[in-house]
C-alpha cells in the first residue's frame, strides 16, 4: 500500500521507468524567485540550459533571509542542463490522477521541464518562495 502511494508522487509513468523530462533547446523563459516582496533571484533558461543568479536586492538583504539550498555563493551565476532539485520539487508527481487530468486538459507535454514549471511552479508547500514568470 505504501508503495502505491509513493508511486503516485513519482514523476515516472511506470514503477521502474522514468519519464525523460528535459528542457527543449528552442525554449527560453525567465522567472523571478520572490519571498515577501523581495526578488531573491532570477531563473532563466535558454538553448537547453538553466541559469540561476541572485539579485543585487537580495545581496543587500542577505542577512535577513537564508540562501537557497544548492546556491551558496551569492556572486556565482549557476548553469545546468537540468533543473535543480530546489525548483524540481515544485513539479508534482506526474502520475497523480489530478495532475494527469491537468496535463491532458491543458495539452501540457509531460516531458517538457519548462512547461511543467510554468504550470505548477509558482507556489509549493515545501518553502515560502514564489516563482513568477516574467
What pTM does this model have? Answer: 0.82
d(CA 38, CA 116): 24
- The strand pair at 29-35 and 130-133 is best described as antiparallel
For the chain, the structural domain boundaries read: 2-10+22-133
pLDDT at 24: 81
Q: Residue 126's pLDDT is what?
A: 82
In this prediction, residue 125 carries a pLDDT of 85
pLDDT along the chain (134 residues), means of 10: 43 51 87 95 95 97 90 96 92 91 94 93 90 96
C-alpha cell recorded at residue 22? 528535459
Q: Strand 130-133 relative to strand 78-80: parallel, antiparallel, unpaired?
A: unpaired
C-alpha cell at 66: 537564508
pLDDT, position 129? 94
Compute φ and ψ for 27, nearest 5 degrees. Answer: -85, 145
* Predicted pLDDT of residue 9: 45
Compute, in degrees rounded to 10, the torsion defined by CA atoms 71, 77, 82, 85: 10
DSSP per residue, 71-119:
---TT--EEESS--HHHHTTSPPTTSHHHHHHHHHTT--TTBHHHHHHH
Cβ-contact 105, 119 below 8 angstroms: no
Give buried/exposed letters for 50-73 (b at 16+ CB in 10 A, else e): bebbbbeebeeeeeeeeebeebee
Amino acid at each position: 500500500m505504501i508503495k502505491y502511494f509513493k508511486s503516485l508522487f513519482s514523476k515516472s509513468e511506470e514503477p521502474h521507468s522514468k519519464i525523460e523530462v528535459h528542457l527543449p533547446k528552442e525554449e527560453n523563459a525567465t522567472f523571478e524567485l520572490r519571498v515577501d516582496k523581495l526578488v531573491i533571484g532570477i531563473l532563466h533558461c535558454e538553448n537547453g540550459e538553466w541559469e540561476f543568479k541572485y539579485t543585487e536586492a537580495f545581496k543587500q538583504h542577505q542577512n535577513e533571509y537564508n540562501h537557497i539550498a544548492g546556491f551558496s555563493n551569492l556572486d556565482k551565476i549557476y548553469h545546468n542542463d537540468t533543473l535543480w532539485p530546489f525548483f524540481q520539487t515544485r513539479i508534482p508527481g506526474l502520475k497523480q490522477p489530478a495532475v494527469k487530468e491537468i496535463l491532458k486538459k491543458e495539452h501540457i507535454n509531460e516531458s517538457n521541464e519548462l512547461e511543467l514549471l510554468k504550470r505548477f511552479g509558482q507556489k509549493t508547500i515545501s518553502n515560502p518562495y514564489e516563482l513568477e514568470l516574467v
